[in-house]
Amino acid sequence: MNNSAVVHLRNGGTSVLLDTSGPALPVIVHWGADLGSPDAADLDAIVLATLPQRVSGGLDVPARLGLLPQESTGWQGTPGLTGSRAGRFFSPALVTTAIDHTGDTLIVHATDDINRLALRIDLAVDAAGVLSSSLTLTNTGDDDYDLVDLCVTLPLPASADEILDTTGRHLRERSPQRHAFTQGRHQRDSRKGRPGADATLLLAAGTPGFGFETGLVHAAHLAFSGNHRLAAEKLVTGSAFLQAGELLAAGEIRLAPGAAYSTPTVIASWGDGLNELSARIHTRLRSRDVHPRTPRPVTLNTWEAVYFDHDLGRLTALAQAAARVGVERYVLDDGWFHGRRDDTAGLGDWVVDADVWPDGLGPLIDTVTGLGMQFGLWVEPEMVNPDSDLARAHPDWLLQAAGRLPVEGRQQQVLDLSHPDAYAYILESLDALLVEYPIGYLKWDHNRDLVDAGSTRTGTAAVHENVVALYALLDELKARHQGLEIESCASGGARVDLGILDHTDRIWTSDCIDPIERLTIQKYTGLLVPYELLGAHISGPESHSTGRRHDLSLRAGVALFGHLGIEWDISALSAADEAELISWIDLYKANRALFHTGTSVHVDHGDPAVDLRGVVAADQSEAMFVFSLVASSAAYPVGLLRFTGLADDTRYSVRLVNREHTGVGTGQSPLVWAERPLTLTGRALRTIGLQGPALFPEHLAVFQITSA
Ligand code: DGJ
């Protein structure tokens, strides 16, 4: 074997080793722990050591898992490419024609002269140690090529025996699921035209019982906001791999001669525990040019405060209360536009409702900005109520399958943004609002799953084209209005992905603001999305979606782990409640730089009633942790609390921030460590920990940790 055929991409603590000896497509021999700087002979030896053995009953040439697995090589798992020319030319046989290796990126060019296809594979390892990859397929023939499936495929180590993914629903996104990773395929499809509340943001596979702090684990995410597929597969040959790609409808991508299709980018990470895996992704996101770097403003969103009751007096009082408690951004939610008195009508008619707002939005906006807050506005541009002037004037602008409109969702249909006239109408409507009013922020909603999403112009499925058009629309609005920030909301967290986050500035994590539910929702959304991009609001005392009641300390302490806001009618708070709310907002403001640049960590505490999470400064000089008792525990007190992610040899002091709000009754002795000045090393805090305070169930304690 030629030594130069082994490519070692090494960056950010990650090594990816590829055998590019060809002519078969390159094979990833290793993806994971840094291999150091092996010389060419060592690299050569590693590759030779991993070559498969032929066994009885198998094909004469054992197939290897190439960057695009193909049946033509003898591969018997799910292939990376499926398509045909009207049923013929069904089995591609792409071979490498050129390799371009620069630094930590690799570009592979491959062609198949019989099937008349060309493929480009992009692979890179960034400074955070994240592996990214995409594929571009070109039809080099002179007839159409119907693409069915094109997926990025990445190998998993043999130790991967357990899968973690998430499912969910409206008001309960990101419920974790664990499965044994046995032979066969575990596949998560999204067919909702948006990732969906049930989307698994990451599909992870690792050693049995892998946790947040330890256990080798690898995971993939598809940076795309439409239909998609993530799978983990294990073959009888011992090969295990992740696959990710767009889920295409029949005929959705038909490549004309010379046309090309590119997959969305697959973002893949690994770690000794999910904390490390997740930190790599967060670091990658934070290095983007478009990443928000200004302090994330405390936001008040009017939805749960007033719903559709748009009354200038009431909204003005709310703005005044917001300014008093330290809110910095005021967002007027659904209900302001023509005909929108409830959720049955109006979507599509993006002009201010003259009945409800006879003087326009100006009076409210003047109050908001006069109080020193930024003004934000809710929109749902991709949606149309059948009861709207837009739907009546342009029925052909609605996505639909031939001959019938889709089943409605929330009494709405979906605009075909790939229709040039519909696109122009929405762009100009939103632009007019942004020109007329000083709007610094759009809460961009999307409140239904798509079904039968076809274009009336082409008669073909149009989810892909609509996602492309949506990204262009978001970019165009931002280009026209410098500094405009946009939130991706979709019935809460039904459109959370790194595709949309390249064009928006945060996500609305969930419509459920019950802090107990939020602990799980934010924990698993946070695997992908760092806190500064994750909307987390303080609800009223009674959760509107669960009916549970909680103290302000729990509601606020959980919301600290995000981009903090308020979703509550605070216009008539008692003086004591207002003072307590101010103290939590002040705590957020004093620590938002830490939350929004630090490393997110979760502690693997054995007690299911204990949730212990924190954020550690990048230089490990400080940290903030929150211990929540999510239910009553069988243990009383619960076991020692350990704090992970700190520097082993640094001494830290630990302070309990909210002693007066922990909810405990009488009978507890003082905590010895909290009564005296005490310092502990990061090593002691990580390995031994300290006694946590007794808490009432559904209460929390905040720990401020600073280097001594
Ligand atoms: C769903 C969103 O998730 C809510 O926050 C709110 O904006 C409503 N839509 C408004 O209709």
pLDDT digits (tens, 9 = 90+) for 68-90: 999 999 999 999 999 999 999 99
> Rounded CA gap, 442 and 378, in Å?
6
Pairing of strands 329-332, 374-379: parallel
Task: Say which DSSP state 143 is in.
Answer: S
Q: Is the CB of 445 under 6 A from ligand 1?
A: yes
Report which ligand 1 atom has the smallest distance to the Cα of 508. Answer: 3
Radius of gyration of the chain (CA): 27
Kindly tell me the burial class for residue 85, based on how many C-beta atoms sit within 10 Å of its own C-beta (0-12, 13-18, 19 or more).
middle
Question: Of the candidates 573, 643, 583, which has an alpha carbon nearest to the alpha carbon of residue 212?
Answer: 643
Q: Is the CB of 524 under 6 A from ligand 1?
A: no
Q: Whose CA is nearest to atom 11 of ligand 1?
A: 334
Q: Is the CB of 491 under 6 A from ligand 1?
A: yes
Residue 225 and residue 180 in contact, taking contact as beta carbons nearer than 8 Å: no
State the pLDDT at residue 22. 87
Q: Whose CA is nearest to atom 9 of ligand 1?
A: 491
- From the centroid of its chain, how far is CA 653? 34
> Rounded CA gap, 609 and 516, in Å?
11
> Rounded CA gap, 678 and 529, in Å?
35
Report which ligand 1 atom has the smallest distance to the Cα of 490. Answer: 3
Q: Which residue has the tokens 């591969």?
A: 75
For residue 528, how far is its CA from the centre of ligand 1 (angstroms)? 22
Structure tokens at 124: 């890179």
| 461 three-state secondary structure | strand
Structure tokens at 13: 């603590």
Q: Could you read off the pLDDT of 601-611 as tens digits, one per residue? A: 999 999 999 99
Low-confidence residues of the chain: pLDDT under 70 = 1-4, 661, 663, 665
Question: Of the candidates 668, 669, 625, 667, which has an alpha carbon nearest to the alpha carbon of residue 646?
Answer: 625
**Bond from prior residue into 92 cis (ω within 30 degrees of 0):** no
Structure tokens at 257: 């001669």
State the pLDDT at residue 665. 67
Ligand 1 binding pocket mutation candidate from 309, 383, 411, 489 (most atoms within 8 A of CB): 489
Q: Is the CB of 508 under 6 A from ligand 1?
A: yes
For residue 171, how far is its CA from the centre of ligand 1 (angstroms)? 11
Pairing of strands 563-567, 534-539: parallel
> Rounded CA gap, 341 and 426, in Å?
21
> Rounded CA gap, 57 and 620, in Å?
55
State the pLDDT at residue 622. 98
Question: Which helix (H) or strand (E) element contains residue 119?
Answer: strand 117-125
- Rounded to 10 degrees, the C-alpha dihedral 308/314/320/321 comes to -70
Question: Which helix (H) or strand (E) element contains residue 188?
Answer: strand 184-190
Q: Which residue has the tokens 């025996």?
A: 161
Residue 708 and residue 563 in contact, taking contact as beta carbons nearer than 8 Å: no
Task: Say which DSSP state 639 is in.
Answer: P
CB neighbours of residue 434 within 10 Å = 17
For residue 492, how far is its CA from the centre of ligand 1 (angstroms)? 7
> Rounded CA gap, 331 and 373, in Å?
10
Report which ligand 1 atom has the smallest distance to the Cα of 443. Answer: 7
Q: Whose CA is nearest to atom 2 of ligand 1?
A: 491
Phi, psi of 645 (to 5 degrees): 95, -5
State the pLDDT at residue 504. 98
State the pLDDT at residue 377. 99
The residue type of 155 is P
For helices 312-325 and 575-597, what crossing angle results, to 10°? 70
> Rounded CA gap, 239 and 77, in Å?
9
Q: Is the CB of 492 under 6 A from ligand 1?
A: yes
What separation in angstroms does the CA of 306 have from each of 273, 322, 577, 603, 684?
A: 43, 14, 19, 38, 49
Q: Whose CA is nearest to atom 6 of ligand 1?
A: 303
> Rounded CA gap, 368 and 352, in Å?
17
Q: Is the CB of 488 under 6 A from ligand 1?
A: no
Residues 6+ apart with CB under 8 A from 672: 691
For residue 338, how far is its CA from the centre of ligand 1 (angstroms)? 17
Q: Could you read off the pLDDT of 500-556 as tens digits, one per residue? A: 999 999 999 999 999 999 999 999 999 999 999 999 999 999 999 999 999 999 999
For residue 116, how far is its CA from the centre of ligand 1 (angstroms)? 48
Ligand 1 binding pocket mutation candidate from 341, 508, 509 (most atoms within 8 A of CB): 508
For residue 367, how far is its CA from the centre of ligand 1 (angstroms)? 23
Q: Is the CB of 643 under 6 A from ligand 1?
A: no
State the pLDDT at residue 676. 83
What sign results for the dihedral spanned by CA atoms 71, 73, 76, 81?
A: negative
CB neighbours of residue 189 within 10 Å = 13
> Rounded CA gap, 57 and 60, in Å?
9
| 46 three-state secondary structure | helix
State the pLDDT at residue 104. 97
What separation in angstroms does the CA of 677 have from each of 622, 654, 692, 705, 706?
A: 17, 9, 16, 13, 12
Ligand 1 binding pocket mutation candidate from 303, 410, 443 (most atoms within 8 A of CB): 303
> Rounded CA gap, 42 and 397, in Å?
60
State the pLDDT at residue 667. 80
Give me the active site residues, please: 445, 511
> Rounded CA gap, 396 and 457, in Å?
8
State the pLDDT at residue 3. 46
Structure tokens at 615: 């954020």
> Rounded CA gap, 632 and 626, in Å?
17
State the pLDDT at residue 403. 87
